[in-house]
Amino acid sequence: MATSPDDQKYKLFTRRAGLISGGMLVLTSGLIGRLYYLQVVGQDQYKLLADKNRISFRLLAPERGKILDRNGYGLAINRTDYRVNIIPEQTDNVEKTLEALNLILPISERQKRKILRAVKRQRAFLPVTVAENLDWETFARVNINIPDLPGIQPDMGITRFYPEKDLLAHIVGYVSSVNVQEIGEDPLLELPGFKIGKNGMERILDRRLRGKAGNSRVEVNVMGRVIRELSRQDSVAGDTLNLTIDRDIQKFTADRVRDESAAVVVMDVHSGEILALTSTPAFDPNDFNLGISQKKYDVLLNDARKPLINKTVQGEYPPGSTFKMIVALAALEAGVIDANEKIFCNSKYQIGNSTKHCWKRRGHGAVSMVEAIAGSCDVYFYEIAGRVGIDRIHDMAARFGLGNKFGIAIPGERKGLNPSKGWKMANRGQRWQGGDTANVGIGQGDVLVTPLQLCVMMARLVNGGRAVMPKILLSDQETASEEPEVIAYNRRNMDIVLQGMSAVINKPIGVAFAQRMRQKDMSFGGKTGSAQVRRISKKERDVRVRKNEEKPWVERDHALFVGFGPLENPRYAISVIVEHGGGGATKAAPIARDVLEFMFGKDKQKSASVALKQEDNT
């Protein structure tokens, strides 16, 4: 029986309806299955993802630790940073707002372009810094005019500040913004405006000063705007560090050599605590914190007196006659000369085909060791250096700290050079010659020292033979160190050397007799030195050796002095180097005398104050 057209249409419709229903059933099943997976199986995972979009963790920068002197004076502190931000979404026209602000707070075209670039990069509700480190008057004017400055937001934060400016720049150093190469594993370094130590103790002890970050857990909307704070863990401030430096002594010393290219180190001969570490000229570390201009940096960089160099630990100089105590002690200990033996000086000393000269044109005549140290006779030391030999001089110099690094918390410390036969062969492929020994015998030739090394040498010479190490951090903040080693030597031999250093200042035969102190309890001893920076030719000696003041500054001798005081029961050691200063007796010794006199006076005031308190208590 033939199928009617209506039946065929009905069957076709039924099949299609069945297919559609089946398809819908499959889709519905898939949808239900997916919903089940999202709501049940994947609930924890997607809840976590949702929370991550809703909840934001933000780092809280810690307050940087302070650096104080031994008496608690602030050398590197934190102070309120008055700054101005702009919130783009709160103003119809950022450029017009900046123009209005410019009438109160000058904004250069360069700053303006930088601000506009930041506005384009960031979300409209986030603040963009317009100016920072403002003085209070400028900040107050901005606050008064806020109604006419839509989008402007005055703000207060914390910034690093160095109240003593250039006084301790080489010791303390400075902080500056983090560059791309310095960003490591610490997420703190990625915070906008976060600064780290770039020089001095700020750099060496940056981890201790930096502190530990806190965090804030906040709820945000889809645009990233903070709705509320859910929890908070405060940051931990960095360590406060107390230095051994005495700000008053440092200031007096710096003022005394402010017009010179110089280095002065003062330390306690028993504890090794450094009381002053002065290098002039210096720089203002606040400039680097705020962002030093290229013009100002170029001036510092091109200054012939090198204000960016810490001469106390980075400067390497021939020690000149300040090295003669080492040669004298080495000769006495080796038994190659007796203290009473006299050597005749007629101003010339022959070594092979070479003639060396004494600084005194007519010579010193016959001199003993004490007289040779007091009068700084070069011929005497040419002779005894030749007798004792370079290797024994090298060993004695090493025992007193020359040629060594001490590892104090200041970057750039140099080792100097304490030469020996082996050193010359290894570095120059040449054998050591008698003339080399003679040169080293008067602190010239290959030997190089830093002012810090000279001060350590002096401390070890006068403290009874303890190999004291220099310290820049107070002992309660340093790892406890072992008792200093005892330097083995014959006490009688050291007494002879000390007599010579006393005579330099306190006897008419001494080259620095004019610098003596009249009061017995304020007397001191020491040794002058003048280090040549250029060789004097035979022709110049035959005609006339020019005086230092007749030479260009860069050709003048370095002036040196190492000293100790008081003469009885020494407490302080000092080293002074004035670059191209000329004579040690006329230039460096007066500086040391004035610094020691200041310190003696300070000690007297302190003693009087203590006595007065005890009397009041009684």
Q: Does the structure show a pLDDT above 70 at 133?
A: yes
What is the residue range of 601's domain? Answer: 247-298+309-609
My answer on whether 220 and 294 are in the same domain is no
What integer pLDDT is reported at residue 169 of this predicted model?
A: 95
Mean pLDDT over residues 391-403, rounded?
Answer: 96
Final residue before a domain boundary, out of 242, 272, 288? 242
Judgement on whether residues 362 and 482 belong to the same structural domain of the protein:
yes
Six-digit token string for 38:
């999202």
Last residue of a domain, one of 208, 226, 242: 242
Same domain for 209 and 334, yes or no, is no
Q: Does 321 qualify as catalytic in the annotation? A: yes
The predicted-structure confidence for 526-539, as pLDDT tens digits, reads as follows: 999 998 876 655 55
Q: Are residues 426 and 560 in the same domain?
A: yes
> Where are the extended beta strands (E) located within 113-253?
128-134, 152-161, 174-177, 195-199, 214-220, 226-233, 241-242
Q: What is d(CA 116, CA 131) in angstroms, rounded to the nearest whole number?
A: 13
- Of residues 615 and 235, more confidence is placed in 235
pLDDT of 536 reads: 59
Based on the domain organization, do 224 and 282 belong to the same domain? no
CATH of the domain at 233: 3.90.1310.10
Question: Which residues are registered as beta bridge partners of 345?
Answer: 365
Domain for residue 398, yes or no?
yes
- What backbone phi and psi angles, to 5 degrees, belong to 336? -85, -10
Same domain, 175 and 276: no
The separation between CA 331 and the C-alpha centre of its own chain, rounded to angstroms, equals 38
Judge whether 17 lies within some domain.
no
Task: Answer yes or no: is 29 within a domain.
Answer: no
Most confident of 21-30, 139-148, 582-591: 582-591
Q: pLDDT tens digits, residue range 367-381?
A: 999 999 999 999 999
Output 556 or 614, whichever has higher pLDDT.
556
pLDDT computed for residue 491 by the predictor: 94
The confidence score (pLDDT) of residue 48 equals 47
C-beta of residue 87 within 8 angstroms of C-beta of residue 125: yes
Does residue 24 belong to any structural domain of this protein? no
List the CATH number of the domain containing 345: 3.40.710.10
DSSP assignment string, 270-322: TT-BEEEEEEES---HHHHHH---HHHHHHHHH-TT-TTS-HHHH--B--GGG
Residues 243-293 pLDDT 10s: 999 999 999 999 999 989 999 999 999 999 999 999 999 999 999 887 788
181, 264: one domain? no
350 within domain boundaries: yes
Rounded to an integer, the average pLDDT of 539-557 is 66
- What is the model's pLDDT at position 431? 95
For residues 109 and 136, membership in a common domain is answered with yes
Q: Is residue 18 part of a domain?
A: no
CA separation (Å) from 496 to 274, 368, 540? 27, 11, 37
From the list 321, 368, 420, 502, the catalytic residue is 321
- pLDDT greater at residue 47 or residue 62: 62
Binned at pLDDT 50, 70 and 90, residue 185 comes out as low
Domain-located, residue 561: yes
- Other Cβ atoms closer than 10 A to 582: 18
C-beta separation of 572 from 253 below 8 A: no
Judgement on whether residues 353 and 488 belong to the same structural domain of the protein: yes
Rounded mean pLDDT of the chain? 86
Q: Are residues 341 and 201 in the same domain?
A: no
How many independent structural domains does the chain possess? Answer: 2
**Where among 242, 259, 287 does a domain terminate?**
242
Identify the pLDDT of residue 235: 82
CA distances from 412 to 199, 381, 551 (A): 10, 33, 31
* Same structural domain, 443 and 483: yes
Residue 513 lies in a domain: yes
Both 164 and 186 in one domain: the answer is: yes
Q: What pLDDT does residue 477 have? A: 46
